[in-house]
Structure 1
Amino acid sequence: MSDRASPTRFPFPDVLDPLTGVRFFLALGVVLFHYQLQWTLPGDGGLLNRARLAVDVFFILSGFILTHVYLQGDRALNYRRFLAARFARIYPAHLFILLAMLGLVLAAPLLGVGLEPGRFNPTDFAATLLLVQAWLPRETLALWNGPAWSLSAEWFAYLAFPAYAALALRLRTRPWVIISLAVIAFVALDAVYRAQFGPVLPRAEDSMGILRIVPEFLYGIGLYYLGQRWTPSARVSVMSALATTGALLALMQLGVDDRIIVAAAGPFILSLALLAKARVRTFLSHPVALFAGEASFALYLVHIPILMVWRNGAQALSGWPGDYRMGVGELAAMLVLTLAAAAAIHVFVERPGRRLLREWMGPQRADPIEAKRSVHSDQGEPF
């Protein structure tokens, strides 16, 4: 068999537990980043200020995992089934939370809660519903559910996946070329974004946030094929995971350039995947960590609506000003409520909704390859 047909002798195992377990901590970082904008706790918040870059880690991770699931062997991608599976993965929880936000906005005047005129408008609702709010330049945020901008970027990457797949399969024996192309694309898009909008690319969100995922998704693809070439020992895998994790956290705490942190996120993801390859079990493989990782998507989506409702309720009941700061007890209670809500949404909305959509849109005849993908396609996948 040619080298091109069999690019590696050392494939990853089907299930990559560390990449599932770590998702909870990434999502929790985003939650705490938003919380620290509201609290009175001491500290300069260096690490938490950069926890928002967990979104970039998710984007890289998405390219890595979708390569693992869909770009193995020489079988052509069934694009319809791919999109059906991706839609089923992201839409149930998104739609549930968006409709809950609509209900809250409609009920707010009845409860005596004043909303800024135009803040929640039909145009932004439609864009969020269709997951296109991050596709065009914007001057304001689509506030129906702020974190959903990254779903808009993910949906764009899903639609563009055949182009990624064609490039990936052509260059899979040369992963450094894929990574180099990702770096070149990132540098170019960063220059364009700074010229047009001012901030660096890792700060792109509602306004052209799709540009942020384009090179990062490709980076994840290159890292996957690079990792296929390596089979480190358990000891080396553990040391690498500790080193890359420590380096990433240190860079975040020191407040280095966002773009350097995004680059450092790649070795971090790869080192966790290599733990699974070396059959090393850590706390990230514990059933509790795996459930938390699987529920991280709901946690990521629901934390801002709960924060909004909590603060509006506190202000209405106490008469506090809109800029009041939250203490430790209030933050802890809100976090517990948010974690419980995320678990409930995952169990009662996300899982059954995903299953129903897959049955409705999926293939009618048995397909062993698709069955295997159905089992493993959510392992480690952020969205």
Structure 2
Amino acid sequence: MQTQTLSGKPHFPILDGLRGVAAILVVIFHLFEAVFPVPKDLPLHHGYLAVDFFFLLSGFVVAYAYDDRWGKMSIKQFFKIRLVRLHPLVVLGILIGLIVFLLDPFAPKAFSGVFVLKLIAAVVLGLLILPAPDIRGWNETHPLNGPTWSLLQEYIANILYALFGRKLSNTVLWVIVVISAIALTATAVWRGDVGTGWAYDTFWIAFVRMMFPFSAGLLLFRLGKKIQVPMAFLLCSVALLVLFALPTFKYNGWYEAAVIIFVFPVIVAAGAGSKISGVWEKLCKFCGDISYPIYILHYPFIYVYTAWVYVEKPAKSEIVPVAIGLFMVFMVLAYAALKLYDEPVRAWLKKK
């Protein structure tokens, strides 16, 4: 079934659930990444494609939620709504990132005047989700909480939508989708994958990764293309797992581009067009609730975990219980942050 939102619009619980599944898979990918530094050995080889799936979902949901509201909503009001929805957890993620960095026994800290200034800049710019000085030596654009690189692209996508995208005809949007698909494919084939955009030397790829799926999500909603399939949440979740887990191979860049351009839209169309109820609907709601907090809050701890694996070189028998424990901590942290911080803060901000 489709539940009703406060605005009266039907809600798509399967899409919420799939967002949660993708977020959980990317967390597992990061836990594996420390243990399997060679990409071809990684069990979830393509786990970073969850980000591209998020962008597609975001385009679809933004068009669904706001396309018909522009007669009674200003651009300023739209930006306020999106900031209230996204930014409280960005702030919390940066604060957790700062605390973990200061306590991290493996993090490079030389408390000179220059380093302190760089750290302050990393905090201030991180709170604004802007690229910051590299204080960790990973060449990251967002060194206190790596995944915020994708939130910067989400903000850029929302700005482009508010200024231009909401006015575009389907014909113009088709042109943008095709051009951005070509750019995405060319980049993926050139690199052999799309698993980057978080570093300074590949910062431009972040925009390429965002542009096609977000635009395609807008277009998919406006075309009204939905697919009804039985057991859609389970089938689409398994599809994501399989797509992420397939091994890398000679034509890996072509494969990842094809998944983003052709397969992800089908999964979203199936999630939007299918029905769910009972326990499955409750599971989708839970997965959707924790999807954003678990994605944006887990990575500061991954820094410590990864450095521990690299520096201490523990046996895999030691790593497994730590990884499982961390995963459980991430789940609890996500739910606690949602209920004790994010929802109350957003409710307070909405009143203001």
Q: Which category of TM-score, normalised to the shorter sequence, fits these structures?
A: 0.7 to 0.9
Give the deviation of 1:69 after TM superposition. 0.4
What does residue range 133-152 of structure 1 map to in structure 2 within 5 Å?
133=131, 140-141=139-140, 142-152=142-152
- For 1:204, the equivalent position in structure 2 comes to 197
Among candidates 335, 349, 363, match of residue 341 of structure 2 = 349
Is 1:154 the counterpart of 2:154? The answer is yes
Contact 1:152–1:210, Cα closer than 8 Å, also in 2 = no
1:61 maps to 57
Conserved 8 A contact 2:188-2:257: no
- 1:372 maps to which residue? none
Check the 8 A contact 2:56/2:215 in 1, yes or no: yes
Q: Please report the TM-score for the alignment, with normalisation by the length of structure 1.
A: 0.72
Contact residue 190 and residue 201 of structure 1 kept, 8 A: no
* Aligned-partner Cα distance in 1 for 2:332–2:176: 42
1:121-270 correspondence to structure 2 within 5 Å: 121-133=119-131, 140-141=139-140, 142-162=142-162, 163-167=164-168, 170-171=169-170, 178-179=173-174, 181-188=176-183, 191=186, 201=194, 203-206=196-199, 207-208=203-204, 209-226=206-223, 228=224, 236-238=228-230, 248-252=240-244, 253-255=246-248, 256=252, 257-263=255-261, 264-270=263-269
1:192-227 deviations in Å (ceiling 9; x for gaps) = 7988xx56555323413233212211000111123x
**Secondary structure of 1:354's match?**
helix
Residue of structure 1 equivalent to 2:286: 291
Could you tell me which residue of structure 1 aligns to residue 298 of structure 2? Answer: 303
Contact 2:93–2:296 at 8 Å: present in 1 too?
Answer: yes
Percent identity between matched residues is 22
Spell out, residue by residue over 1:99-148, the C-alpha distance to the aligned partner (whole angstroms, 9 max, x if none).
Answer: 1222333455xxx65525569744443332211229xxxx9213211111
CA distance 1:99–1:187, shift in 2 (3 Å) = same
Q: Which has the larger radius of gyration?
A: 1
Q: After superposition, what is the alpha-carbon deviation per residue over 1:327-372, rounded to whole angstroms, capped at 9, x for unaligned?
A: 3222211111111111111111111111222222xxxxxxxxxxxx
The CA deviation at 1:156 is 0.9
Question: CA separation of 1:65/1:338 partners in 2, compared to 1, >3 Å: closer, same or farther?
Answer: same
Structure 2 CA distance for aligned equivalents of residues 179 and 298 of structure 1: 33
One of 37, 51, 76 as aligned partner of 2:33: 37
Letter in 2 for 1:221: L
Q: For each residue in 1:5-38, what CA deviation from the matched residue of structure 2 results, as whole angstroms up to 9, or x when unmatched? A: xxxxxxx962111011122211111101111123
Could you say what secondary structure the match of 1:203 adopts? coil
Structure 1 distance, partners of 2:100, 2:70, is 49
Q: Distance in 1 between matches of 2:302 and 2:278?
A: 32
Unaligned 5+ segments in structure 1 are 1-11, 361-383
Instruction: Measure how far apart 1:300 and its partner are.
Output: 0.6
CA shift in 2, pair 1:239/1:352, >3 Å: closer
Q: Distance in 1 between matches of 2:235 and 2:221?
A: 19
TM norm structure 2: 0.77
1:322 CA displacement: 3.7
Q: Give the RMSD, CA atoms, in angstroms.
A: 3.4
In structure 2, distance between residues paired with 1:186 and 1:205: 20
Cα distance change, pair 149–274 in 1 and its aligned pair in 2 (3 A): same
Give me the whole-angstrom Cα distance separating, in 2, the residues matched to 1:47 and 1:270. 27
Q: Which residue of 2 aligns with 1:79?
A: 75
1:202, 1:77 → 2: CA distance? 37
* Residue identity in the other structure for 1:295: I
Paired residue for 1:369?
Answer: none
Is contact 2:14-2:272 (8 Å) kept? yes
Deviation, 1:323, is 3.9
The secondary structure found in structure 2 opposite 1:205 is coil
What is the identity, as a one-letter code, of the residue corresponding to 2:270? S
Between the aligned partners of 1:258 and 1:249, the Cα distance in structure 2 is 14
Matched residues, number: 318
